[in-house]
Chains A and B, each alone.
Chain A
Amino acid sequence: MNQPDLIDPLLRRLPLFAWLSAESIAWFAHYAETHDLAQGDVLFPQGSPGDSLYVIVSGEITFISGQSEDTDEQSASTLEEGETFGELSLLETRPRLAMARAALPSRLLQIKSTLFREFAQKNQDQHAILFTNLARDLARKIRSLNAKKSSLHPA
């Protein structure tokens, strides 16, 4: 069973849920699933269908992708409390490029893409807000990455 009282304010703080009505946020808070992971637990393996948005309620998640099996070359990145991942599953389902593992004991909130689709059918205008938020988030990411690039490599 969920604890909407705790999840509701968490969702409200996410840029992805900005400008959504209180009813919409309450709906997601009600249907989102929480998962607790012990340190070292695998959330999902590489290649599994990417069909959910996750919010890190607490803890830390590491993403490990094997670039090539021959050279055993790997890349890793980490996300922390308050951050989200899997957001492009809102657009379409694709096989995951990396495995996700809990670097610390972690609590996650999972919103399945089927839930977003159900939401879209009932709340057209709210769904448009959600997608606008997704685009805004990405545009802001690009801006901050560009700013970093410019400060690292001035021409």
Chain B
Amino acid sequence: MSLPIEHLAAKEKIFAAFKEFPLFQGLPDEVLVVFFVAAQEEIYRNGQVVMKEGDHGQELFIIGGGTVDVFIHHGESEQTRLAQLHKGDFFGEMCVIEPSLRSATVVVSETAILYSLKSTCLNKVYQVWPEQQSTIMANLARELSKRVQQLDPTYFDRAW
């Protein structure tokens, strides 16, 4: 059992990390606190599957530490690794845009701390702070645009 003071210091550290996540840039502390309290922290070991292609998505995941691999057709002959994601990256974001099935399987490749946020939590935040929806969607779009650029290096030639 940790001492309360150490516990508090650990919480402060996690909150500071939340502030650094690209998805949360520009959000006021009062909104960040809501995400901080609502987010579920989970630790995954190497090889553990976080989400499976084709499943119903209810939450998005933010990587607090560690590494995950993103696959399509995981475990099949045409299995392809699409990306490797690290601290600060997120995945499973489509469900906060519209109800959808997972488009890929995510497998932990280096012990990972993940924070999951349900799409319903984001909707509740929008009800209280409607002006923050644009901020979150802009952050999401900005990060997604970088992924498009990685897949198609001519994309930024046309994006501005």
Contacts and interface: CB of A to CB of B under 8 A. Distances in A.
Interface of A: 50, 63, 65, 75-77, 79, 85-91, 93-98, 100, 120, 124-125, 127-128, 131-132, 134-136, 138-139, 141-143, 145-147, 149-150, 153-155
A34 B128 CA distance: 39
A146 B151 contact: yes
Contact of A79 (B130, B158, B160): B158
Interface string B87-118: 00000011001100001100000000000000
Contacts of B159: 50, 85-88
Interface stretch (B2-10, B32-40, B43-51, B139-147): B139-147
A147 to B, nearest CB: 8
B144 A63 contact: no
A59 B64 CA distance: 47
| Interface residue SS majority, chain A | helix
Contacts of A142: 144, 147-148, 151
Contacts of B98: 136
A63 B147 contact: no
Contacts of B77: 154
B72 interface: yes
Interface string B123-160: 00010001101100110111011011001111011111
Contacts, number: 117
Given A75-B154, A142-B144, 15 more contacts: A50-B159, A63-B157, A88-B141, A88-B142, A91-B138, A91-B145, A96-B160, A134-B141, A135-B141, A138-B144, A138-B145, A138-B147, A139-B93, A139-B94, A154-B78
Contacts of B145: 88, 91, 138
B80 A154 contact: yes
B74 to A, nearest CB: 10
A132 B132 CA distance: 12
Given A124-B130, A127-B134, A128-B137, A98 B79 contact: no
Contacts of B144: 135, 138-139, 142
Contacts of B141: 88, 90-91, 131, 134-135, 138
A141 B145 CA distance: 9
Contacts of B140: 135
